[in-house]
Amino acid sequence: MRWYYRKLSDGLVIAHARPAHASQLEGLQRICFPTLADHERFKAHHYIRHIELFQAGQFVALDGQRVVGATTTLRLDFNFAHINHTFSEIIQGGWLTSHQPDGSWLYGADIGVHPDYRGRGLATALYAARQELVWRLGLKGQVTAGMLPGYAAFKGKLSVAEYYQRVLAAEIWDPTISVQIRAGFEPRGLLANYLNDPVCENYSVLLVMDRSQNIKGASRKNAMSYIRLNTEIPGPKAKQMLARRAAALPSGLACATDAVVEAADGALVFDVDGNTLIDLAGGIGMLAVGHTPPLVVDAIKQQADKFIHPCALVATYESYLELAELLNELTPGTFPKKTILVNSGAESIENAVKLARKYTGRSTIICFEGAYHGRTLLTLSLTSKYGLFKKGFGPFAPEIVRLPIPNVYRTPNGMTPDEYLAFSIQQLEHAFTAQADPSAVAAIIIEPVQGEAGFLPVPALFLKRIRELSEQHGIVMIADEVQCGSGRTGRIFAIEHYGIVPDMICSAKSLAAGMPIGAVTGRAEIMDSAHLGGLGSTYGGSPVACAAAIASLKMIRQPAFLAHANRLGDLLREVLGQWQRKWPVVGDVRGLGPMMLIELVSNRESKAPLSPEETLSIVRAAVSNGVLLIRAGLFSNCIRFLPPLNMPEEMLREGLNAVGRAIEAFAASNEYRRASTTART
């Protein structure tokens, strides 16, 4: 994966190469080595293949999106007793066949630096990136074969051997070899007929940098971690951006952290000050497949090249159909299904409720305490957590009944969890007498795992009773899978864990890897109940978002992807459980699969919630340690974990370690001792 991202003082960036850089890399080589024989040049397809074979070893220097320097590497086992090799021998008829995944040395081909950017330390910075890779992979060092471009001015005056000796003696400055020596490379000897380049009479120099060698800009600490902190969070540039945000955006638009993103890849976020953070927030559940996944990015680009949006109300296009067919296939249930695509999770809920009312001819909607269904008028009416989301925004939509839902962690005193669950089911049944007649209820809407309420997996018996009551009274059961769907719980849909089939499923967030799209998939007879023209959305089913969703779902549905997601879930539960045993401030650990959360308390016996401000202080400390993190819970006293589901396990451990240090510091603080004492009294 691409983990290296270093921002230089002048704003240039050293990072891993992407396939999109390939054509620029080919062009850069032609500029840097104009006399090199064409058959020995790297072409764009070679660079793409390099990335496929050894992604971590390909580096570029970037000025914005422009490639201004680069180096490509592979791993080899070197025999230094034989230094009279040629480039053709190393590449073994094409370079690509010689990469040894377990090779003990890093072999680097020096593509070079654009003439306009020479003298700015880019060559040294690229060598520093390579040396960090050596340390990270535990290699013996790096090897390269440097050319002698300066020899052109000495032809007829000095032999190549004489020129080489004078360069070593620092009597002559060679634009390549001298830079490499200054960076820390040790010359091992001339290589005759190494490359077909008349500028240096086909000679090159074998150079070695041992793993013990330090190099300017390389950090052994950074090499062994994903987090790279160069400034505090927020840093100087981030503070400027945050000031602009405060001046330009309404104060009600909250932001969980002070991170200001410049780029992101996989589960890593690179900020404007050159810091690298591990993303454990995942865009509040949007990024199951991570930031900028290549398959999704390619799908977006290809679709944008064809057309952006003719509007599904005006014309038909294949990506809308393909995504609908895919969702019809993937959602639970063997009955005929249809799908409508919209812009967001809230809009999917709106359409599901509208269709349920049309289909049943009824108006009442049953929802549950703790639920979050969106911020539009109807969905905000369905949403719980009044103070944070709803205060001052009423009046709200009518014909909504809100019922309690069992939170096993907060089982009332005097009850066992089983008794509490039985009582909750009795309350559910009683509501059909006390609050709404079944003949008036159009739909029951529920999140199989409540999100904002604090990652509460709904007890299986409770969900089962909802399904039974829905079938008994002709009520539409709607599963809101906007946050908990799209692989988030280790299955494509969270409801699959229960073996229950709802009538309609609403999805969004990770559906399209962060692109704005939502969907309602349900029984064909319900979806067809609206009159012609009764459904529609100008931007709904954007072809670009559809392309992203198709690529994203194809990744998520792979057994290997879901298996890895579940391993992350096991790891989360293991580490969070350790926290719970170690620190009394961690009152509960819960969730489903890799959708996990901790609830923080001032006192474990009374379960008094830690205050939102104290919880936020832990989040901010964790961000300062190098992770993105957000709160949750009715009392805003929970920390949720929504990592990209293809995150490496070692990266997740490092991110959790950063969070653990923040919790440990708070648990040892006077602030927590005071809060704990107050909660006891």
Q: What is the per-residue pLDDT across 563-605, written as a single tens digit (0 to 9) for each?
A: 999 999 999 999 999 999 999 999 999 999 999 999 999 999 9
pLDDT tens digits along 358-396: 999 999 999 999 999 999 999 999 999 888 899 999 899
Domain with CATH 3.90.1150.10 in the chain: 236-285+560-680
* C-alpha span between 278 and 264 (Å, rounded): 10
pLDDT at residue 280, rounded to an integer: 98
Residue range 242-297, pLDDT digits in tens: 999 999 999 999 899 999 999 999 999 999 999 999 999 999 999 999 999 999 99
Q: Burial level of 401, CB count in 10 A (0-12/13-18/19+)?
A: middle
- Which residue has tokens 């970037």? 62
Pairwise CA distance, residues 585 & 132, whole Å: 38
Q: Among 302, 296, 360, which residue's Cα sits nearest to residue 517?
A: 296
Between CA 342 and CA 350 the distance in angstroms is: 10
Residue 342 pLDDT: 98
Of the listed ranges 63-77, 464-478, 487-501, the one predicted with least confidence: 63-77
88 — pLDDT class (breaks 50, 70, 90): low
Where do you find CATH 3.40.640.10 in the chain?
294-557
pLDDT at 378: 96
In what order do the strands lie in the sheet containing 268-271?
261-265, 268-271, 276-279, 627-628
pLDDT, position 90: 54
Neighbours of 100 (CB within 10 A): 13
Please give the single-letter amino acid code of residue 161: A
Confidence at residue 94, expressed as pLDDT on a 0 to 100 scale: 45
Of 303, 345, 269, 264, the closest CA to residue 510 belongs to: 345
Determine the pLDDT at residue 86: 55
- Is the Cβ–Cβ distance between 61 and 67 less than 8 Å? yes
Instruction: Give the pLDDT band (50/70/90) at residue 179.
Output: confident
Least confident piece of the model among 142-146, 399-403, 674-678: 674-678
The third-level CATH classification (topology) of the domain covering 5-220 is Aminopeptidase (3.40.630)
Beta carbons of 1 and 265 less than 8 angstroms apart: yes
Q: Please say if the pLDDT value at position 148 is more than 80.
A: yes
The predicted pLDDT at position 78 comes to 81
DSSP 266: B
- What is the rounded distance in angstroms from the CA atom of residue 46 to the CA atom of residue 459? 54
Mean pLDDT along residues 636-653? 97
Distances (CA, A) of 367 to 227, 383, 405, 479: 41, 8, 10, 11
**Where in the chain is CATH 3.40.630.30?**
5-220
Separation CA 653–CA 605 (nearest Å) = 29
92 has pLDDT over 50: no
Task: Answer for the pair 510, 296: CB distance below 8 angstroms, yes or no.
Answer: no
Give the bridge partners for 601, in sequence order.
609
Q: Which of 374, 450, 444, 464 is nearest to 410 (CA)?
A: 450
Query: Average pLDDT for residues 127-133, to the nearest whole number?
Result: 96
Q: Does domain 236-285+560-680 have CATH number 2.40.30.10?
A: no
Per-residue confidence (pLDDT) for residue 93, from 0 to 100: 41
Residue 401 phi, psi dihedral angles, 5° rounding: -115, 125
Does pLDDT of 502 surpass 50? yes
Q: Is the separation of the CB atoms in 315 and 509 below 8 Å?
A: no
- How many CB atoms neighbour CB 119 within 10 A? 9
Average pLDDT taken over every residue of the chain: 93
Structure confidence at residue 190 as a pLDDT band (50, 70, 90): confident
Residue range 294-557, CATH number: 3.40.640.10
DSSP secondary-structure letter at 531? P
Contacts of 167 (CB under 8 A, 6+ apart): 148, 150, 173, 174, 177, 178, 181
Whose structure tokens read 């809101």?
480
Locus of tokens 């690298």:
276
pLDDT the model gives residue 43: 86
Percent of the chain with pLDDT over 70: 96
Question: Residue 101 corresponds to which tokens in the numbers above?
Answer: 């995944």
SS3 611: coil
The residues with which 109 forms a beta bridge, in sequence order, are 72
